[in-house]
Amino acid sequence: MKTRSKKTTKATATKKETPEQDSITAKELAASVAAPPHVFVLPKGASSEARIITLPDPASSSPSRYLVCPEKGFYEFTRVAAPKKACRSWLLAPQNNGDAKIENSERQEDSEEQEPEGYVLEKPDMFVATPIDPLFVLLPLLVGGEAGSYLTFSDFVFATEKEGLAQLQQLLRQNTFAKLEKSMEARIGVICDCLDMGDGEDKMYKLSASKLATVLLSKANNMVKRGLPISMEERFVKQALEVPVLSIRRGESSVSIAPEDATSVPSSDNTATGTSQESSTSTSTVTSNNTTTSTAASSVATTPVEAQPADDIANLLRVRTGLDFLVTSYVAPSLHTAIQDVCKSSVSSVDFAPLDKHLEHVAGLKKQAQVLRSLSDNISRKRGADDDEEALDKAEAKRKKKEEDEIKKKNMSRGVQQLAKADTSGMKKLSSFFTKAPPKKKA
């Protein structure tokens, strides 16, 4: 058997024989690093001897990073991050100076050109070094160990049993950090009771809760003078001093129903006004054709109970907000109660008694407002219950009617269903043909 087939041309043969030369080469990215670097913003003019060390956190005693400079002191790192919804990252590239370019060009004359190495950070976090008072760094040392006894500065720093101080001890043993050690000892004397042994060199210290509270109050006052952040001002000051609306004034009105020829009698009003709630009633009586009708109506208006608090109360609350922030962030939990007791005593430089009294008054007003709100909610629920019952009855009737219609449709035959769809407009009913004939008229 012979079949017809086309002969292969030279062009198609060459296409099949030669492989494709246009191949796409994709550049592979480097694998991610388990411990990527971080972006730090260090203070301007810091010494070259500055080091980043690990110290226990003043509040939680957890290990934290600090920058220690022999000239400028201690710095803590504040993490600044972009919102989670924002897709951002850091692109780090080497800095190319003019001299470096010349050297690289001379070195790479005989070798192939190399691309500059860079780095991409997935998380756009930045750590800013902000100054911190050394007394907060020393505060965990004064609390632990032999608390309540007089010890020298070297005993607190070098002979303490607290962990996490090896790097600080190593730095303070160097001659370049001698100035920093003196400044630390000067700050420890501000919050401690000092005992001089007589030689003028070795002084012994013991932590004083009253001096610590005084230092924290002065720092809180400085925060208020510079201005609290907007978020703290809104949440902890304005919301706390908001006075609820409590007094309800009911206006008098009368409604009378009478025919046109009726004579009306003047109404008598009785009004009673209270501190938290005002109520009034009014009645009107109309007599006509031995018929008496009495009705009453009222209108509601709200007015604030008290004006806004004075600036002194607001400033006291700002000082307390700043104090609470400092105590929570930089003081160990074991000292919180002692500081609060000192602030409430007569030794404190700031008297918070007017603030406490005003906050108690505002709390009582808020409680009364909550009670009134619950009463109004109960009344609205009772009114809504009747409406709900009517709606349920209507829905139940509609559901029953729908079920009956479905049952009728199931019992109907197919022919009846088809006839029901027919257009019968203008046609007589079948029953009209079986009615009695009208009587014939007599001639």
Better-scored residue on pLDDT, 67 or 19: 67
Residue pLDDT, tens place only, 115-130: 557 788 888 888 999 9
Q: Are residues 224 and 367 in the same domain?
A: yes
Spatial neighbors of 312 by CB under 8 A, at least 6 apart, are 354
Q: Is residue 232 part of a domain?
A: yes
Cα separation, 246 vs 158, in Å, equals 62
Q: Are residues 182 and 316 in the same domain?
A: no
Overall domain count for the chain: 2
The pLDDT, as a whole number, for residue 273 is 38
- State yes or no: pLDDT of 248 exceeds 90: no
- State yes or no: pLDDT of 242 exceeds 50: yes
Spatial neighbors of 180 by CB under 8 A, at least 6 apart, are 68, 69, 70, 73, 171, 172
Q: Are residues 181 and 123 in the same domain?
A: yes
Better-scored residue on pLDDT, 406 or 148: 406
Q: Which helix (H) or strand (E) holds 182?
A: helix 178-188
The pLDDT, as a whole number, for residue 9 is 57
Residues 183, 134 contacting (CB under 8 angstroms): yes
Q: Are residues 62 and 128 in the same domain?
A: yes
Residue pLDDT, tens place only, 228-239: 989 888 888 888
Q: What would the mean pLDDT of 49-66 be, rounded to a whole number?
A: 90
- Mean of the per-residue pLDDT values of the chain: 74
Better-scored residue on pLDDT, 277 or 88: 88
Q: Are residues 178 and 234 in the same domain?
A: no
- State yes or no: pLDDT of 381 exceeds 70: no
Using the 3D structure, point to which of 351, 375, 399 is the last residue of a domain: 375
State how far the alpha carbon of 277 is from the alpha carbons of 317, 371, 380, in Å: 30, 12, 19
Q: Are residues 170 and 319 in the same domain?
A: no
Residues 331, 139 contacting (CB under 8 angstroms): yes
Q: Are residues 236 and 324 in the same domain?
A: yes
Q: Is residue 142 part of a domain?
A: yes
Q: Is residue 1 part of a domain?
A: no
Better-scored residue on pLDDT, 425 or 181: 181
Cα separation, 223 vs 220, in Å, equals 5
Q: Are residues 312 and 184 in the same domain?
A: no
Q: Are residues 175 and 315 in the same domain?
A: no
Q: What is the pTM of this model?
A: 0.59
The boundaries of the domain holding residue 48 are: 39-81+119-189
- State yes or no: pLDDT of 412 exceeds 50: yes
Q: Are residues 361 and 217 in the same domain?
A: yes
Cα separation, 235 vs 237, in Å, equals 6
The pLDDT, as a whole number, for residue 221 is 92
Cα separation, 250 vs 177, in Å, equals 75
Cα separation, 203 vs 222, in Å, equals 30
Residue pLDDT, tens place only, 311-351: 788 889 999 999 999 999 999 888 898 898 888 888 788 88
Q: Is residue 55 part of a domain?
A: yes
